[in-house]
A and B are shown apart, each in its own frame.
Chain A
């Protein structure tokens, strides 16, 4: 039985190990501690994503989350895609997503909601954690640098599309504006109307000539 390269390289196990480490590190640094995990003790949430060929199960025990790729036992199972998972942040969309077959939920929905609550209430003081390791001054400088970088990135994120649009529409005239498209559509509609009127007029004249002859 041949296995795919992803199976041979054990991508599923690598991903689950990485996720498990990441999640538990986040929980370790969470200002609210791991108290939120207690109601979920020994509960399992399984997520089957369209983009992945294997499931991911998140089980809680001893103030830790274990990630496995086994879906034999779960309390709640979400069958969806990554993009839908992002949309799930808005609770009011839940019904629409289920109706549109973008999401299937099996088992106890409360378990999934509690996992989502934990993710939303994560509060990590990165600066304090970093300062413990590298000291206050380097942390301050890294923080300052990070903020400056973020500001620049945010500015660039707005400016680059604006500049590109300006260049394409006005300088090179490769793309027309929405207003121009609207005017063009209105003119086409007007011409269409005039043509229809003219057509009707011609038909009337032909009828009249045929009656006279």
Chain B
């Protein structure tokens, strides 16, 4: 295990580059977290050495960070804003709350949370990727959002916070990139306050087969080309499409959240299941 000390913004963060054990799956059967081979994991549809995944994911996000927001709007036709708004609505956040926006990237959720928690509240924008965090920090500062936001570069598997710290934790379009999802969920559970809630917004499995086929065509044929044209990086968007297929489906993720200790877990499909919002409480 590597230990790296990084100074970032207001906090000094210890990053533990965690090891993981995940197996690659048939691309037509995206599920889960079975660990059939301890030395390998998946990176999109590729099987890679477990210690390679983080650096590979990191290089993807270093590459796309600057164009991330533009690409999000283009790829989702702007609907990602509604998905995020749905997440904010489901968070029940109120003035004075402490919120962790994990894998917060360019800070869309943080911006809104920061305004809703008020001066007494606090939002931590955490991301493992320094480029994404830099883009997020610059964007939020340009919007004048400075007073109650802290930036932390952290690995979701080893959250550098005390137990029972946060009222709300969100992870939007980030969990599928985490090497050991079970470990990350347990880590989130640990830092969540009793009564607090976790919201996982992530791509999922469309409910209807027809939508699934259209979505597959769009993801594997159009999306990488769009990435190549706009972000000058088709490979990263090919990874995006593949990583979505490898992510656990709705029921599997719900089971994983249950296993991590969350209670009253539930999920809501958005846009026909293209995206799902999972919710779980710690009591």
Cross-interface CB contact of A68 among B82, B89, B270, B272, cutoff 8 Å:
B89
Do A14 and B116 contact each other (CB < 8 Å), given the known contacts A8-B272, A42-B95, A68-B89?
no
| Option from A13, A41, A73 in Cβ contact (under 8 Å) with B82 | A13
B11 at the binding interface (Cβ < 8 Å): no
A169 at the B interface (CB under 8 A)? no
- Also in contact, A17 and B118, with CB within 8 A (given A42-B95, A69-B89): no
Which of B85, B95, B271, B272 makes the CB contact (< 8 A) with A16?
A: B85
Q: Which residues of A contact B89 (CB under 8 A)?
A: 12-13, 16, 68-70
Please, which residues of chain A bring their CB within 8 A of the CB of B91?
70
Is the Cβ of A62 less than 8 Å from the Cβ of B92? Answer: no
- Given A8-B271, A8-B272, A17-B81, decide whether A68 and B88 contact each other with a Cβ distance below 8 A: yes
A8 CA to B268 CA, complexed, in Å: 10
Bitwise, B99-124 to A at CB < 8 A (1) or not (0) is 00000000000001001101000000
Which of chain A's residues have a CB closer than 8 A to the CB of B269?
3, 8
CB distance from B279 to the nearest CB of A (A): 12
* A70 touches which of B92, B268, B270 (Cβ 8 Å): B92
Kindly state whether residue A171 has any CB partner on chain B within 8 Å.
no
Contacting A66 at CB < 8 Å: which of B83, B115, B268?
A: B115
State whether the Cβ of A163 lies closer than 8 Å to any Cβ in chain B: no
Q: A8-B272, A17-B82, A66-B116 are known contacts. Are A73 and B94 too (CB-CB below 8 A)?
A: yes
Alpha-carbon separation in the docked complex, A66 to B118 (Å) = 12
Question: Whole-angstrom distance between the alpha carbons of A41 and B96 in the complex?
Answer: 13
CB-CB contacts of A1-41 with B at 8 A, as 1s and 0s? 00100001010111011000000000000000000000001
Which chain B positions have C-beta within 8 A of A114?
none
The digit string for A94-132, where 1 denotes a CB below 8 A from any CB of B, is 000000000000000000000000000000000000000
CA distance A61 to B119 in the complex (A): 9
- A-B contact number at CB 8 A: 51
Q: In the complex, what distance in Å separates the CA atom of A14 from the CA atom of B118? A: 24
The answer to whether A3 and B268 touch across the interface, beta carbons within 8 angstroms, is yes
Task: Assess the B118–A70 pair: CB atoms within 8 A.
Answer: no
In the complex, which residues of chain B have a beta carbon less than 8 angstroms from the beta carbon of A44? Answer: 94
Tell me if A61 and B115 are in contact (CB < 8 A): yes
CB distance from B90 to the nearest CB of A (A): 7
Query: Is B86 engaged at the interface, CB distance under 8 Å to the other chain?
Result: yes
* A12–B95 CA distance with the chains assembled, in angstroms: 22
Given A8-B272, A72-B92, A73-B92, are A13 and B118 neighbors across the interface (CB < 8 Å)?
Answer: no
> A69 vs B90: C-alpha distance in the bound complex, in angstroms?
8
Contact across chains for A10 and B82 when beta carbons are under 8 A apart: yes
Q: Which residues of B contact A42 (CB under 8 A)?
A: 95, 118
Is B86 a contact of A13 with CB atoms below 8 Å? yes
Q: Kindly identify, within residues 242 to 270 of chain B, every residue whose CB is under 8 Å from any CB belonging to chain A.
A: 268-270
Known: A3-B269, A70-B90, A73-B92. A14 touches B82 (CB 8 A): yes
Residues of B within 8 A of A41 (CB): 118
CB-based contact A66/B112 at 8 Å = yes
A81 to B94, CA, bound (A): 26
Q: Give CA–CA (A74, B85) in the complex, Å.
A: 18
Query: What residues of A have a CB within 8 angstroms of the CB of B83 in the complex?
Result: 10
**Residue of B85, B115, B272 with most chain A CB atoms under a 10 A cut-off:** B85
Residues of chain A contacted by B268 (CB below 8 angstroms)? 3
- Asked if A139 is at the interface (CB within 8 A of a chain B CB), the reply is no
Chain A residues, CB < 8 A from B86: 10, 13
Residues of B within 8 A of A (CB): 79, 81-83, 85-86, 88-92, 94-95, 112, 115-116, 118, 268-272
Which 10 pairs from chain A and chain B are nearest by CB? A72-B92, A42-B95, A13-B85, A73-B94, A13-B82, A10-B82, A42-B118, A61-B115, A69-B89, A70-B89
Known: A10-B271, A13-B85, A73-B94. 4 other contacts (CB 8 A): A10-B85, A17-B85, A61-B95, A68-B116
A selection of 20 A-B contacts at a CB cut-off of 8 Å is A3-B268, A8-B272, A10-B83, A10-B85, A13-B82, A13-B85, A17-B82, A42-B95, A42-B118, A61-B115, A62-B115, A64-B115, A66-B112, A66-B115, A68-B89, A68-B116, A69-B89, A70-B91, A70-B92, A72-B94
